[in-house]
Amino acid sequence: MPSTSYLLAVLAIVFTITLALRAVPFAVLRTLRTSAVVRQLSAWMPVGVLAILGVTALHGAIAAEPHATWCALLAVAVTAGVHLACGRRTILSVGIGTAVYVVLVNAL
């Protein structure tokens, strides 16, 4: 068992690193608000997250059950359609797409 001073030193280091990592974003927030990179990221990150989610869902569905490929493709299409039709509400579109997939897989 390590000594008490060793454990206290480790805790102090962990505390300092955690505090620094949580404080840095607030320290640079003012410069990030006018950044062109942050503006581009805010436009493209939701699209990227949905694309990665779609690819992962398709890969998982095809690998697990090859006969459910059409169900997964239809669910991704529904997710994209709902996302575009309902004002780009990510939680709504992912939720409805997931529900469509679950219903299709269980119905067929």
For the record, the structure tokens of 25 come out as 């974003």
With bands split at pLDDT 50, 70 and 90, how would you rate the model's confidence at 42?
confident
Please compute the mean of the pLDDT values over residues 26-40 and round it to a whole number.
85
> Which of the four pLDDT bands, split at 50, 70 and 90, describes residue 5?
very high
Separation CA 65–CA 104 (nearest Å): 13
Q: pTM (2 decimals)? A: 0.53
Task: Report the mean per-residue pLDDT for the chain.
Answer: 88
- Per-residue pLDDT reduced to its tens digit, 13-29: 999 999 999 998 888 88
CB 92 within 8 A of CB 86: yes
For position 22, what pLDDT does the model report? 92
